[in-house]
Amino acid sequence: MDINTALQALRDPFGVPFFPWVFQLLMVLTFALHIISVNLAVGGIAVSVYEHFKGGEYNRKLSQMLAKVATISLSSAIVLGVAPLLFVQVIYDPFWYVSNSLSAWWAIAFLLFITLGFLAHYVFYLKRHKNPAGYGLFGLSGLVFVLAAGVVMSALSVQALVPGAWLDWYSANGSLVTTGTTLYKFELGRFLHFIVPSFINIGIFMMLYAWYFRPRADIDGAWLDWVGRAGVKVAKIATMIEIVIGFWWLVMIPADLGFLHNHWLWLGSLLGLLLMVGLMKAEKDPERFAVPMALLSFIAVFGMSAAREVLRMVYVGAFKYSIYDYPVNVDWGSTALFLGTFVMGLIVMAYPLIVVFKLGRGRLSES
């Protein structure tokens, strides 16, 4: 039996309940939202811990602010991460389930790492002012556990793309290996390509923070100036590093896949360069460029998410696998219910978000 035949046999015999391209589009969109939350969480924790140990009035104030942001972002990342994972399981089920079976212990460990990371960071957020040195270690532990969870998820994703190696991994040393205790493949360049933008997006968030609170007369203007300048500096340096890492990762992709000639790749690269140029201009006036840079960053992340999906299609296409060949048994009832609740959820969330946005820019009452 060849690999393509095995992959077809591993598919769900009932097919998918709606057209695969719809799941694919939603997967790209929700992954972009998820990875932005991940970026804000990782970047928020890292910068918060750094400023905590650095000390100084503004540094400690920034540390406290970003610790709170990271707490919220980590919660959002966990919730938003469910959606793209479910879509992957629907249209790429043979790849995802085999990868998880090969490294089952690590798939379970991911849940442990993310839980410990959240708890450690939450302790840091709540108690950091009581014992700066001692509780600072909780912040470091939180960052390590969250990064460990990212390593596991990245490895599972990479393992899913190389079905040609599965048999060798299952039959290592001439015997059947079913312990699930090994991570078989990890690409550092790919991992860093998703982690370094954490500092780009947390830097842009700091610019947005200064822009958002500028109308408030009860907030120190010098503090906002400092946050905005620090944010654009962090984002600019991280963007430079990300460009280098992006091209480093590209040279690691097998040349026979021809991904270097893909227009989605170069579109993503162009967006990254535009972001770099924008951040260089923003150094003189971070608040003026805060919103445009945030929008450009989201577009760049969405482009990266789309390019990631195109690359996955190239990998699985080498084994003559296409999600568009998946049997479709349309279930209009469940699809209408899903889309209806999705749209209604957006509408319900829009009003309180608008109200909170407007309230936050007003002066707090003296009481």
Task: Please check whether residue 155 is in contact with residue 130, taking contact to mean a CB–CB distance below 8 angstroms.
Answer: no
Q: What is the pLDDT of residue 1?
A: 53
Q: In this predicted model, what pLDDT tens digit does every residue of 101-127 receive, in sequence order?
A: 999 999 999 999 999 999 999 999 988
Q: What is the pLDDT of residue 366?
A: 37
CA gap 327, 269 in Å, rounded = 35
pLDDT beyond 90 at 290: yes
CA gap 224, 253 in Å, rounded = 43
pLDDT beyond 90 at 250: no
Q: Which residue has the higher pLDDT, 178 or 163?
A: 163
CA gap 37, 225 in Å, rounded = 25
Q: What residues does each domain of the chain span? A: 24-326
CA gap 60, 222 in Å, rounded = 15
Task: Please check whether residue 292 is in contact with residue 278, taking contact to mean a CB–CB distance below 8 angstroms.
Answer: yes
pLDDT band at 206, cuts 50/70/90? very high
Q: In this predicted model, what pLDDT tens digit does every residue of 316-367 receive, in sequence order?
A: 988 889 999 888 988 888 888 988 888 888 788 788 888 888 888 774 443 2
Beta-carbon neighbour count of residue 39 at 10 Å? 26
Task: Please check whether residue 83 is in contact with residue 137, taking contact to mean a CB–CB distance below 8 angstroms.
Answer: no
CATH class of 24-326: mainly alpha
Spell out a b/e string for 128-155, using b for 16 or more CB atoms within 10 Å of the CB, else e.
Answer: beeeeeebbebbbbbbebbbbbbbbbbb
**H helical segments located in 161-262:** 166-170, 188-195, 197-213, 221-252
Q: Strand pairing partners for 16?
A: 328
Spell out a b/e string for 323-343, using b for 16 or more CB atoms within 10 Å of the CB, else e.
Answer: beebeeeeeeeeeeeeeeeee
Read off the pLDDT of each residue in 209-213 and give the average, rounded to a whole number. Answer: 94
Task: Please check whether residue 328 is in contact with residue 16, taking contact to mean a CB–CB distance below 8 angstroms.
Answer: yes
107-111, 256-260, 310-314, 326-330: the lowest-pLDDT one? 256-260
Give the range with max mean pLDDT: 131-135, 172-176, 185-189.
185-189
pLDDT beyond 80 at 258: no
Determine the straight-line distance between the first and last CA of the chain, rounded to whole angstroms.
Answer: 74
